[in-house]
């Protein structure tokens, strides 16, 4: 007799505590042995996720409570990784919507909730972080109800159950006045409000592929939900491809989920989430089915990308010095491999064989791909991100973003002025606690390119900025994105302290003395709107005359550190970002000035 099952996804805005809450559920379900060393955010297993403190890939885990197997899927909060959220919501029958008791619903809360309501799920709302000062739990519940109504939820969905919780302290409770003990109330709500999976174990097998994994030993592993039928290890099955063709294969390994690990099982029936090995060329959205009666499930649809960049083979003077994979064939193979697991990504070949047009959900989505590739040893260069325009009802349209700023009171005027110049339209303004104000804007996506650096200056580093895709609207006209000119090296060599010190009054530098530079490389930002060519390799003329001030300690201004995201936002339309495993360099497209003029 198989266990009763509940399949549930955890959705929320970034940093509202999804992964910490899953930690508490896992620890209290007894899957870790006593004394076992368990890291925080145990579900964030990817090194990039741990460094940035965000979830990038959706992951499965399973816990047992009162003889019921609860499959939990942890999803990313960033709208840039919305493709992950959209595909896993088809695996589950219910979801936990987590909202910060202080911030309330945020742009990505709207995005993930909209996707859940479209799938017909009835969320259980968890107001998290109630232990924080300035928390307003009942206010957050009211805002969530407003959001449900705004997104067109039906009456049943609007009657959502809600709990108050602290993922960090590991408790949930129905009433604020009660003492929080543990996560038992949340487990009880899952059993009561998440329906058991629908599916008929007597029908022919249908399993939809929603996630792909890879093992050195087993090859490609597909993870998905059994919609109908029963699957057994060693049985013959058929894979219905996207184009309708059928590939037959044997299920070499069948695995279920238990805590954080996969356990080998002999059989699983409708409603279960399983991992299957044996289908080397399966892709996301395809169906594993019975070979005698192959019946495909509808393919998974995800929103189209909104931002595009050109990936180029590196052709700078330093090309091939730092990377292991530098050719166009290696770059193409890697991008095509990424397409297999990254459903929201698109890759097209450009007009020349050394260029590829890569489209994604946003700068963070593409930035994570670039960072992953450089860590794997790839060397390439990318252009400035460009928005993707569409024609709707014969009208040219562009993507708009919903932008929410949380800023100190004194920065309000400057932010409203700059966003107005970038065609932003203010939707809401709320004065919060501690002299902070929340502003909400609808703004063209191209108006946000390069805004983050400016925003940090306007808010003196104290502002918080969140945005997510809103919809496509008519073209907004010219967007004013002001940026000073850049300082360009016109010599190849090593930057010297002497040259940088003498040019300090011309602007700020991105490099330090000792940095190797080449002709056409961008080494800093000029104080004025025009670009400036500078010899940063110039050395001091030595004489045999002793200087009276020679022993004074002279210090250089601290350089501006260019992280990958910051550099992507900074580069202009005639500039490139050179990415290698060791360095990130900004450069002009044409190294030769005469070539640039031509």
The tokens 């900074």 sit on which residue? Answer: 570
- Does 115 carry a binding-site annotation? no
Strands 94-100 and 124-128: parallel
- Check residue 268 and give left, alpha or beta (phi > 0: left; psi -120 to 50: alpha): beta
Tokens encoding 90? 């088809």
- Does 90 carry a binding-site annotation? no
Residue (of 48, 520, 580) closest to 331 by Cα position: 580
- Does 531 carry a binding-site annotation? no
CB distance 361 to 81 below 8 Å: yes
- Does 131 carry a binding-site annotation? yes
Tokens encoding 276? 């299957």
User: What is the full DSSP assignment across 30-65?
Assistant: T-SPTT----SSTT--SHHHHHHTS--S-EEEEEEE
Helices (H), 119-183: 137-150, 155-158
369, containing H or E segment: helix 363-375
- Does 393 carry a binding-site annotation? no
The answer to whether the Cα torsion of 589, 595, 597, 598 is positive or negative is negative
- Does 17 carry a binding-site annotation? yes
Measure the CA–CA gap between 212 and 141, rounded to whole angstroms. Answer: 36
CB distance 589 to 576 below 8 Å: yes
- Does 13 carry a binding-site annotation? no
- Does 129 carry a binding-site annotation? yes
Cβ neighbours of residue 366 closer than 8 Å, sequence gap 6 or more: 307, 309, 358, 360, 385, 568
CB distance 517 to 487 below 8 Å: no
- Does 488 carry a binding-site annotation? no
| Ramachandran angles phi, psi of 140, nearest 5° | -65, -40
Measure the CA–CA gap between 270 and 390, rounded to whole angstroms. Answer: 40
Measure the CA–CA gap between 560 and 148, rounded to whole angstroms. Answer: 43
Strands 287-289 and 236-240: antiparallel
Q: Give the other-Cβ count within 10 Å of 282's Cβ.
A: 22
- Does 333 carry a binding-site annotation? no
Beta bridge partners of 211: 223
Measure the CA–CA gap between 165 and 13, rounded to whole angstroms. Answer: 16
Measure the CA–CA gap between 129 and 110, rounded to whole angstroms. Answer: 19
Which three-class secondary structure state does DSSP give residue 197?
coil
List, as residue ranges, the binding site for GTP.
15-20, 128-131
List, as residue ranges, the binding site.
15-20, 128-131
């Amino acid at each position: 007799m198989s266990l009763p099952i509940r399949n549930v996804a955890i959705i929320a805005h970034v940093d509202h505590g999804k992964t910490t809450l899953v930690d508490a559920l896992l620890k209290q379900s007894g899957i870790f042995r006593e004394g076992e060393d368990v890291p925080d955010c145990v579900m964030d297993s990817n090194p990039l996720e741990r460094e940035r403190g965000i979830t990038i890939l959706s992951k499965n885990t399973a816990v047992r409570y009162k003889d019921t197997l609860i499959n939990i899927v942890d999803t990313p909060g960033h709208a840039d990784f919305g493709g992950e959220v959209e595909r896993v919501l088809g695996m589950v029958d219910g979801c936990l919507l987590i909202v910060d008791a202080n911030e309330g619903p945020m742009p990505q809360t709207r995005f993930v909730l909209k996707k859940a309501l479209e799938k017909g799920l009835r969320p259980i709302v968890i107001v998290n972080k109630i232990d924080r000062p300035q928390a307003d739990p009942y206010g957050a519940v009211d805002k969530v109800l407003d959001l449900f109504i705004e997104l067109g939820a039906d009456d049943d969905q609007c009657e959502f159950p809600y709990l108050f919780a602290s993922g960090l302290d590991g408790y949930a409770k129905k009433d604020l006045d009660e003492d929080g003990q543990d996560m038992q109330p949340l487990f009880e709500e899952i059993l009561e409000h998440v329906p058991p999976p629908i599916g008929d174990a007597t029908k022919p097998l249908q399993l939809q592929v929603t996630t792909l994994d890879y093992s050195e030993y087993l090859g490609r592993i597909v993870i998905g939900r059994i919609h109908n039928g029963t699957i057994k290890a060693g049985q013959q099955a058929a894979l219905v491809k996207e184009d309708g063709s059928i590939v037959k294969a044997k299920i070499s390994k069948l695995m279920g989920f238990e805590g954080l690990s996969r356990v080998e099982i002999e059989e699983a029936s409708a409603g279960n989430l399983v991992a299957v090995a044996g289908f080397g060329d399966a892709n996301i959205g395809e169906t594993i089915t019975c070979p005698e009666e192959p019946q495909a499930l509808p393919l998974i649809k995800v929103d189209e990308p909104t931002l595009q960049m050109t990936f180029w083979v590196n052709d700078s003077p330093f090309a091939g010095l730092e990377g292991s994979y530098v050719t166009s064939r290696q770059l193409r193979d890697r991008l095509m491999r990424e397409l297999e697991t990254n459903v929201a990504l698109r890759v097209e070949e450009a007009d020349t064989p050394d260029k590829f047009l890569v489209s994604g959900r946003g700068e963070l989505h593409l930035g994570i791909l670039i960072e992953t590739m450089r860590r794997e040893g790839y060397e390439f260069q990318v252009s400035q991100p460009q928005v993707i325009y569409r024609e709707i009802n014969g009208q040219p349209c562009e993507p708009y973003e919903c932008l929410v700023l949380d800023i100190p009171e004194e920065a309000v005027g400057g932010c409203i002025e700059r966003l107005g110049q970038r065609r932003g339209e203010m939707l809401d303004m709320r004065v919060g606690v501690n002299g902070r104000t929340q502003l909400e804007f609808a703004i063209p996506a191209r108006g946000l390119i390069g805004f983050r650096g400016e925003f940090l200056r306007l808010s003196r580093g104290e502002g918080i900025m969140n945005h997510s895709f809103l919809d496509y609207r008519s073209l907004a006209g010219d967007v004013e994105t002001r940026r000073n000119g850049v300082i360009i090296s016109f010599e190849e060599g090593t930057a010297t302290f002497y040259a940088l010190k003498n040019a300090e009054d011309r602007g700020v530098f991105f490099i330090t003395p000792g940095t190797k530079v080449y002709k056409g490389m961008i080494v800093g930002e000029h104080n004025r709107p025009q670009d400036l060519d500078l010899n940063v390799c110039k050395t001091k003329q030595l004489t045999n005359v002793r200087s009276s001030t020679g022993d004074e300690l002279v210090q250089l201004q601290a350089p501006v550190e260019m992280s990958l995201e910051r550099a992507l936002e900074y580069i202009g339309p005639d500039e490139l970002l050179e990415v290698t495993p060791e360095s990130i360099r900004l450069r002009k497209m044409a190294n030769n000035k005469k070539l640039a003029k031509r």
